[in-house]
Structure 1
Amino acid sequence: MTSTTERPAPRAAKPPSWWERQGDLLMRRPFSEFTFTHMNWLMPTERVSRGEVHRPLPYESHRLDLTYRFEGHDRTLAELHRRTNTTAFVVLHHGRVIHEYYPGVFAGPRTRMQLFSISKSVTSLLLGIALEEGLVDSIHDRVVDYRKDFVGSAYEEVTLAELLTMTSGVGQLEAWDVPDSDIKRFEQAAMSGGDLAEVVKSAQRRAPSGEAFNYSTLDAQVLGWVLEAATEMSLASYASDRLWRHLGADRDAYYWLTRAHPRTAIGAGSLNATPRDVARLGLLMANDGVVAGRQVVPRDWIRRSRGSELPQLAVGELGPSGYSHYGYANQWWTLGGSAFDAFTALGVHGQYLYIDPSADVVIVKCSAWPTQDDEGRDRETIAALRRIADHFACAR
């Protein structure tokens, strides 16, 4: 029997269960080579239909024997793929597939790849379409104009423009290696059955709205929810009807959904599609939103995505949540200051949709990095992709 002056020894913290740790396990090499190509085996999904019209991409094989320079060394593309864990690599020039390579164990031309935050850039395209249709009135509307349940949260007065530029001021610096960080709680809720909306609503304001860039999966998720509320359609349904069926895609894409009901797509990171179909998105961006003569995404929205006039979004000015070689605009990463400079969509673990309008080059690189972020691998990848685009620009 314990005396009044004694206290029971504290229980050791219970180690997290497999269910609670599944996000970490699914993202770890070598398992990630499988999970990044089979998310539809692991999570509930909703289809993004390709439609009836298929437009095969012209194929014109081209040897890429070039080298790129990184950290004082000339390296080959074979070294790039080995050093940065490439699983799929597709290069388009003038709309033709001139090079593709699938070193991933489970990858191939018809394999649908987990795109992570490339999904954010697609959500931005869908918002541009919804604005053109009048389903969303203005980017200066507030979140609560569409989602009344966010009244009382830190997002109450945030505008869609601030979500698009990730200047909401809400949420922490994304830290995947901190167990109770906003992004880890978000991941756990999405994959293990928690209340994702409550996780997002619980995020705290860290800075005034509109002032500073802070890369935020939460901001992008709220943007996707606003889009669903405005269109009265699921993200997958709206993407199918307004975007995917116009691309001439090879395959249906899909979003994986949260385990908990009501199930919801992760507009910030759950789109899966084939590398060639991702390249088709790049062609749409390079061609000012036009596919086969049809204006699918408004031209002005595409141009808005290639660069921002906000000084805090300029290349080198993003602060601690963006590498110094990037700027940001409209849920896309910029690499220069004009509409004709290269820009890219990015996803953790090394996913790229790289577009150089001047060279008329689109490059898709899927990867299975051992960690979510890796500045060294990123810098090396961008150096190589720039070199490929420069090669074709000079050859014209």
Structure 2
Amino acid sequence: MLDRDVSTLTFRNMDQLFTTRTVPHAGQPWNLPRADHAMDFTYSFKGASYTPEQFLDRTYTNALLIIKDGRIVSEIYRNNMTPGTRHMGWSMTKSITSILVGCALAEGRIKSLDDQVTTYLPELRGGGYDGVTVRQVLQMRSGVDYEERYDFENPGIAARNHDAALVRNVARFADVARTVKRAHKPGEVFQYKTIDTAVLGWLLERVSGGSNLSAYAAQRLWEPLGAEADGYFIMDGPPGVGREFNGAGFNAVLRDYGRIGLMMLNGGWARDRQIVSREWVAESTRPAAAEGAEGGYGYQWWTMPGSDAYAAMGLQGQFILIDPATKTVVVKLSHFPPGEVEAEQESLAFFAAASAWPGR
């Protein structure tokens, strides 16, 4: 699943490795007009200048999409990817979960972000999530003691949970939230952890009216968005038992990730309807605290330093970058080797240049 030698293959074939649940598309896709243009710009990284063609190789790119002013200006597939290939989004799935929370709030299924999560998930009473609000979980400020470290040779709580839920399917990923302890006072410390997003997925399942997260995502996001292909979640167990791995398990085609970005750029509007409110888009992509040199974090969205740009970001090089100032959306699907740091930094440098590029 994470082997650097085959990840370009596994990242586009997760349905061959896991039980999955489909998020079906329906009706006519949202038409994305085209104004294709050669990427006639360069970008700088660590004192050197590179072309976009060099970028594709240097950062392990599987597919790249650039949308300017609502039009596709560049669309590239590599490593046997095609327009119909569904690619693992990894933690970009967290940002999709945020959109669905916004939908549930607008419908009144979630009464307030300042409700405690135990209002909806009483199973979490008595543990680290007792007294934590929905807003604090969205901001990754739950304070629970869950270190996001995947050293499988010396496993901690996250690695053990990954193994039990996703590899052996003997537990549900979110169930560890029942017993996890508290490390910090809720709201005080930002600590990125997938268990927080798993709790949000469990909450959405609970308030969806007896449905499951995939069905809710299809009804509130995927169908009205005008997706062109079915998406799917990988599951943490067999049919009838497993739950969607909504912290990092969504898969879709390149252009549908682009449609998510364009919908967010349009203030929650897609085609002929409001998917999620303009207010939610603004609030969820605003940093919860002062940004550092590398940016900040909103409601499951990363914010870019010194600008209004923000991004969904996933393990090993998955990105949806949205820059309202230049009306740009960039989607990059990749196969970074595990532990690769510079490729992410270089990707952000490329995104800044692509955003500034007129594209015409």
TM normalised by structure 1 equals: 0.86
Choose 50-59 or 64-73, whichever is displaced more: 50-59
Q: 2:25 touches 2:231 (CA, 8 Å); kept in 1?
A: yes
Distance 1:89 1:368, change over 3 A: same
Asked if 2 retains the 8 angstrom alpha-carbon contact of 1:91 and 1:99, the reply is yes
Distance 2:216 2:178 in 1: 24
- Give 1:279's aligned residue: 258
Partner of 2:299: 330
Gaps of 5+ in 1: 1-25, 317-323
Aligned residue for 2:315?
348
Pair 1:171-2:138 in alignment: no
Q: CA deviation at 1:221?
A: 0.5
Tell me if structure 1 keeps the 8 A contact 2:146–2:195.
no
1:237 and 2:215 matched: yes
The equivalent residue for 1:212 is 189
SS at match of 2:297: strand
Tell me what 1:307 maps to. 286
**Residue correspondence of structure 1 range 57-136 to structure 2 within 5 A:** 57-103=32-78, 105-136=79-110
- Supply the AA of the counterpart residue of 1:120: K
- CA deviation map 1:175-205 (0-9, x unaligned): 2225322221222122221213443333221
Q: Distance in 2 between matches of 1:369 and 1:337?
A: 26
In the alignment, the residues of structure 2 paired with residue 29 and residue 374 of structure 1 have an alpha-carbon distance, to the nearest angstrom, of 10
| 1:256 maps to 2:234 | yes
**Is the Cα contact below 8 Å between 1:171 and 1:216 reproduced in 2?**
no
Checking the alignment, whether the CA contact within 8 Å between 2:234 and 2:249 is kept in structure 1 is: yes
In structure 2, runs of 5+ residues without a counterpart are none
Q: Distance in 1 between matches of 2:184 and 2:30?
A: 47
How many Å separate the matches in 2 of 1:284 and 1:198? 32
Shift of 1:246: 1.1
Secondary structure, aligned partner of 1:173? coil
Matched AA of 1:200:
A
Q: Aligned to 1:69, what secondary structure does the other structure show?
A: strand
Q: Deviations over 1:100-124 (max 9, x none)?
A: 1112x23111111100111000000
2:350 partner letter: A
User: Could you tell me the percent identity over the aligned residues?
Assistant: 35
Aligned to 1:358: 325
Map of 1:270 onto structure 2: 249
Matched, 1:202 2:179: yes
Q: Distance in 2 between matches of 1:385 and 1:154?
A: 38
Equivalent residues of 1:113, 1:275 under 8 A apart:
yes
Q: Do the aligned partners of 2:20 and 2:233 also contact (CA within 8 Å) in 1? A: yes
2:126 equivalent in structure 1: 152
Q: Is the 8 A contact 1:45 1:257 kept in 2?
A: yes
Kindly state the Cα deviation for residue 69 of structure 1 after the two structures are TM-superposed. 0.5
Deviation at 1:30, TM superposition (A): 2.1
Distance in structure 2 (CA, Å) of the matches to 1:190 and 1:349: 21
Q: Decide whether aligned partners of structure 1 residues 65 and 337 sit closer, same or farther in structure 2, where only a CA change above 3 A counts.
A: closer
In structure 1, C-alpha distance between the alignment counterparts of 2:177 and 2:56, rounded to whole Å: 36
Whether the aligned pair in 2 keeps the contact of 1:314 and 1:337 (CA below 8 Å) is: no
Match of 1:23 in 2: none
Matched, 1:29 2:4: yes
8 Å contact 2:171–2:236 — kept in the other structure?
no
Q: Does 1:247 align with 2:222?
A: no
The residue number in structure 2 matching 1:16 is none
Give the C-alpha shift of residue 153 in structure 1: 1.6
SS state at 2:36 partner: coil
For residues 314 and 66 of structure 2, the distance between their equivalents in structure 1, rounded to whole angstroms, comes to 18
- Higher mean alpha-carbon deviation, 361-370 vs 192-201, is at 192-201
What is residue 222 of structure 1 aligned with on the other side?
A: 199
Tell me which of the two structures has the higher relative contact order, counting C-alpha pairs closer than 8 angstroms and 6 or more residues apart.
Answer: 2
Q: Any conservation in 1 of the 2:128–2:177 contact (CA below 8 Å)?
A: no
Alpha-carbon RMSD across the aligned residues, in angstroms, is 1.6
- 1:227 Cα deviation after fit: 0.9
The superposition leaves residues 204-238 of structure 1 with CA deviations (integer Å, 9 ceiling, x where unpaired) of 21111100100010001101101110113211000
1:55-87 deviation digits (Å, cap 9, x = unpaired): 231122110031111101001122222121111
Q: Offset of 1:38 from its aligned partner? A: 0.8
- Shift of residue 337, structure 1, vs aligned partner: 5.9
Pick from 327, 332, 343 the counterpart of residue 377 of structure 1.
Answer: 343
2:161 & 2:336 partners in 1: Cα distance?
21
- Which secondary structure state, in structure 2, belongs to the residue aligned with residue 262 of structure 1? coil
In the superposition, the TM-score normalised over structure 2's length comes to 0.94
Residue pair 1:186, 1:200 contacting (<8 A) in 2 also: no
Aligned to 2:14: 39
Counterpart of 1:9 in structure 2 is: none
